[in-house]
Chains A and B, each alone.
Chain A
């Protein structure tokens, strides 16, 4: 009888390289990673080539902005990994590790973006991708309160906010700022932070503001501008079977603090959570005040 060469692979180890076992025997999905969803177009032909030669001619765009190539046969896994490495394409992660960082394009091209989340995602990825954790760790960066990158659904989310200020010498009294503020605040059943005062000039109340910045965007004569820019930090968000929004634990943090908080959040997660437990679940167990104290 012919002895067949069995390919023995450590499946749990494979997950680190972004290789997921498919439903079909001997086939695997190769997950690459694209921090912040930013990919140089010159790399696209490589994905096509690999999908055609080793996959089934199609790719899947994951919900964390990565390209996945399904239908890779087990005997081709090493080959494909080598080709990806040669092409400078990063591999993704699954299993108990920190995952691809999702981000909106931010101020690089988006009209609403208040910060360069795209660039920040790349920087954070270099330091914090693929770290072992109890279950998984997801980071999301978003450039404005449209929250396209869903910071509140990630274990750690950073949301850019802008505190406005007005130069009354430039103001022409068009009332657009107060109008826009009232419209938006009424959707959240909040009191507007800007009301028209005497001489058709706006009056700003910081304590009522939630720093979303449409007053600055809408002002036709640039009387409104940004006084302070920073990130709101959300901790413990998740979806899955028992979704929960992240808790807001800090406001207006600068970029340096973003790195510090990310490092601490992963450290604390590793310290307090049981194996298989999400950060949000550990927070429910210990209480947010305690976890916040440890992270900040």
Chain B
């Protein structure tokens, strides 16, 4: 269970790949380095693809937790590379 309080929450239930990644990327761009973003994703391809893509952007995933048929990702925004 995560005790980290996110600075922003992005609900992407029902949003397919790669739109979910694009929205996550844009949201992170709006935020400050070090801030925490909580992303809700569908099970299946979304959770598998988006976490990898976020890491490729240089950000850090602190936690991934399954909640029913969805997943909650806690992402820390790192310095833009």
Task: Tell whether A217 is near chain B: CB-to-CB under 8 Å.
Answer: yes
Spot the interface stretch: A92-100, A128-136, A169-177: A169-177
Note all chain A residues with C-beta closer than 8 A to B55: 220, 222
Contact of B51 among A111, A175, A220 (CB under 8 A): A220
Task: Flag A173-217 by CB within 8 Å of B: 1 or 0 each.
Answer: 011100010000000000000000000000000000000000001
> Is A172's CB under 8 angstroms from B64's CB?
yes
11 pairs, A vs B, C-beta closer than 8 Å: A111-B56, A172-B63, A172-B64, A175-B66, A176-B47, A176-B48, A180-B48, A220-B64, A220-B73, A221-B64, A222-B55
**Distance in angstroms between the alpha carbons of A176 and B44 in the assembled complex:** 10
> Is B52's CB under 8 angstroms from A174's CB?
no
Task: Tell whether A39 is near chain B: CB-to-CB under 8 Å.
Answer: no
Using CB atoms, name the residue of chain A closest to B51. A220
> Is B52's CB under 8 angstroms from A221's CB?
no
**Distance in angstroms between the alpha carbons of A174 and B64 in the assembled complex:** 5
Using CB atoms, name the residue of chain A closest to B61. A220
**Distance in angstroms between the alpha carbons of A218 and B66 in the assembled complex:** 14
Binding site for A on B (CB under 8 A): 47-48, 51-52, 55-56, 61-66, 73
The minimal Cβ–Cβ distance linking A177 to chain B, given in whole angstroms, is 11
Task: Flag A241-266 by CB within 8 Å of B: 1 or 0 each.
Answer: 00000000000000000000000000
Using CB atoms, name the residue of chain B closest to A217. B52
Closest 10 CB pairs of A and B: A174-B64, A220-B61, A220-B51, A220-B64, A218-B48, A172-B63, A221-B61, A217-B52, A174-B65, A176-B64
The minimal Cβ–Cβ distance linking A62 to chain B, given in whole angstroms, is 31
Note all chain B residues with C-beta closer than 8 A to A180: 48
**Distance in angstroms between the alpha carbons of A176 and B64 in the assembled complex:** 8
**Distance in angstroms between the alpha carbons of A220 and B61 in the assembled complex:** 6
The minimal Cβ–Cβ distance linking A214 to chain B, given in whole angstroms, is 8
The minimal Cβ–Cβ distance linking B37 to chain A, given in whole angstroms, is 13
**Distance in angstroms between the alpha carbons of A218 and B62 in the assembled complex:** 14
Note all chain B residues with C-beta closer than 8 A to A111: 52, 56
A211-236 contacts to B, CB under 8 A, are 217-218, 220-222
The minimal Cβ–Cβ distance linking B78 to chain A, given in whole angstroms, is 13
**Distance in angstroms between the alpha carbons of A15 and B27 in the assembled complex:** 58
> Is B48's CB under 8 angstroms from A221's CB?
no
**Distance in angstroms between the alpha carbons of A270 and B52 in the assembled complex:** 46
**Distance in angstroms between the alpha carbons of A222 and B66 in the assembled complex:** 17
**Distance in angstroms between the alpha carbons of A175 and B55 in the assembled complex:** 18
> Given A111-B52, A176-B48, A180-B48, are A221 and B65 neighbors across the interface (CB < 8 Å)?
no
Contact of B66 among A174, A217, A221 (CB under 8 A): A174
Note all chain B residues with C-beta closer than 8 A to A175: 66
Note all chain A residues with C-beta closer than 8 A to B52: 111, 217-218
